């Protein structure tokens, strides 16, 4: 036995050293890799839990199943049956265009035999039903000068419509079709809208019926008029609005109408505008009962008559302007006070009555506080030099 021990003594010693070394190594590894501060464990899980606790439980809830996709589908199902597609026919007259050279050569009497030509122009637009007895809302420009208006309902039924009320200034029109028991839309509250709020536009762009687009409210109180003396009231959205969408509804995620799609900027993308529904609600009775909206205060408002844009850093750098603020004139309205005073396109207004002017809103506010007949002194940058121009304010025309 002793011989056996001596024989394998070195083997047992070596085996003992290997086992001891393994145990010590494992202990050291566990000591340095185990977290001493338990708050360090799973930091990602703790961060997510913290963020989750800060979110409103209804912030991203769109329906019973909290599905964004389902929310849009539900809006379309609710709204689409009351959206209509409008076809119009109008008579357009044209005169032959004869160059002055031929008139001088043949004499003006030779061309008197050429008569005006007439042709039928077709148009299309959108609208929506607001009462079950056949009252339909659309834009004024959709039915302007139309000889015939046809309303097409979802499902294919067509009705010839009567124009019962229209207003060019607000671009509103009310049509009436002889039908009852129609689906109609719920009117929302455009006064409570917020920038960033999701909206849905439904209409007939380019004749493509039942087109649904989605976007957000990009801005509020916008203006497309030549001046901002009225203050802007339009809703700006990036929901796609194309030709043919005019007159269709802009709705919230509950399917309530908050705007009437009106216009786009032709040289831009994802910039559309809608008339707030409150403007229609406030004037609906007048449109139906009187056929028009009376703008009694228009003749008391002073008017300048320019399309304007604020001067920005890019413009200052490009034109190498010696100033940073001003108002760039994009167009002067013909026969307006600005036109009569000699203001020109590409002029830049830098001062009004010796007061530095920084924006179109500031100029509009100043004019709004003035009276018809007041004279304003403008400092204008033209052809790399300043020029003083006096303008006498006049009453704002009804059509403007």
CB count, 10 Å around CB of 358? 14
Q: Out of 66-80, 156-170, 287-301, 309-323, which region has the weakest mean confidence (pLDDT)?
A: 287-301
Give the domain range for residue 366.
299-395
Q: Residue 270 is part of a domain; what is its CATH number?
A: 2.40.10.10
Are both 306 and 381 inside the same structural domain? yes
pLDDT the model gives residue 310: 85
Are both 274 and 358 inside the same structural domain? no
**Residues 229-239, mean pLDDT to the nearest whole number:** 75
User: Tokens 């809006």 — which residue?
Assistant: 75
Distance from C-alpha of 87 to C-alpha of 148, rounded to nearest angstrom: 8
For the cut 70, the answer to whether the pLDDT of residue 369 exceeds it is yes
Are both 331 and 256 inside the same structural domain? no
Domain end (from 243, 264, 296):
296
**HSE, side-chain direction, 13 A CA sphere, residue 355:** 9
Q: Out of 36-45, 78-87, 99-108, 330-339, which region has the weakest mean confidence (pLDDT)?
A: 36-45
Query: Which tens digit of pLDDT belongs to each residue from 134-152?
Result: 999 999 999 999 999 999 9
- Please report whether residue 19 resides in a domain: no
- What is the three-state SS of 72-123? HHHHHHHHHHHEEEEEEEEEEEECCCCCHHHHHHHCHHHHHHCCCEEEEEEE
Give me the active site residues, please. 141, 171, 246
Q: Residue 321 is part of a domain; what is its CATH number?
A: 2.30.42.10
Are both 169 and 201 inside the same structural domain? no
Total structural domains in the chain? 3
């Amino acid at each position: 036995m002793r011989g056996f021990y001596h024989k394998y003594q070195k083997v047992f010693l070596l085996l003992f050293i290997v086992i001891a070394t393994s145990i010590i190594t494992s202990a050291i590894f566990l000591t340095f890799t185990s977290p001493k501060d338990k708050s360090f464990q799973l930091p990602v899980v703790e961060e997510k839990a913290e963020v989750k606790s800060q979110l409103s439980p209804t912030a991203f809830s769109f329906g019973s199943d909290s599905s964004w996709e389902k929310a849009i589908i539900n809006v379309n199902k609710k709204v689409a049956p009351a959206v209509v597609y409008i076809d119009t026919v109008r008579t357009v007259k044209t005169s032959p265009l004869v160059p002055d050279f031929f008139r001088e050569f043949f004499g003006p009497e030779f061309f008197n035999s050429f008569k005006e030509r007439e042709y039928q122009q077709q148009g299309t637009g959108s609208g929506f039903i607001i009462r079950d007895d056949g009252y339909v809302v659309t834009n004024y420009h959709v039915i302007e000068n139309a000889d015939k208006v046809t309303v097409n309902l979802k499902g294919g039924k067509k009705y010839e419509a009567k124009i019962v009320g229209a207003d060019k200034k607000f671009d509103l029109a009310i049509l009436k079709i002889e039908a009852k028991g129609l689906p109609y839309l719920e009117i929302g509250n455009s006064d409570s809208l917020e920038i960033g709020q999701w909206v849905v536009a439904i209409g007939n762009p380019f004749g493509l019926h039942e087109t649904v687009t989605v976007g957000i409210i990009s801005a509020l109180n916008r203006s497309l008029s030549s001046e901002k003396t009225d203050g802007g009231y339009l809703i700006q959205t990036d929901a796609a609005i194309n030709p043919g969408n005019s007159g269709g509804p802009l709705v919230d995620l509950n399917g309530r109408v908050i705007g009437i799609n009106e216009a786009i900027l032709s040289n831009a993308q994802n910039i559309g505008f809608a008339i707030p529904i409150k403007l229609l609600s406030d004037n609906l009775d007048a449109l139906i009962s009187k056929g028009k909206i009376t703008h009694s205060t228009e003749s008391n408002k002073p008017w300048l008559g320019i399309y304007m844009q604020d001067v920005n850093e890019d413009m200052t750098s490009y034109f190498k302007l010696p100033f940073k603020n001003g108002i760039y004139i994009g167009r002067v309205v013909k026969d307006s006070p600005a036109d009569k005073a000699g203001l020109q396109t590409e002029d830049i207004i830098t001062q009004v009555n010796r007061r530095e002017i920084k924006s179109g809103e500031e100029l509009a506010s100043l004019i709004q506080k003035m009276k018809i007949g007041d004279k304003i002194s403008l400092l204008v940058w033209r052809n790399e030099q300043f020029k003083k121009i006096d303008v006498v304010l006049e009453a704002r025309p009804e059509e403007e």
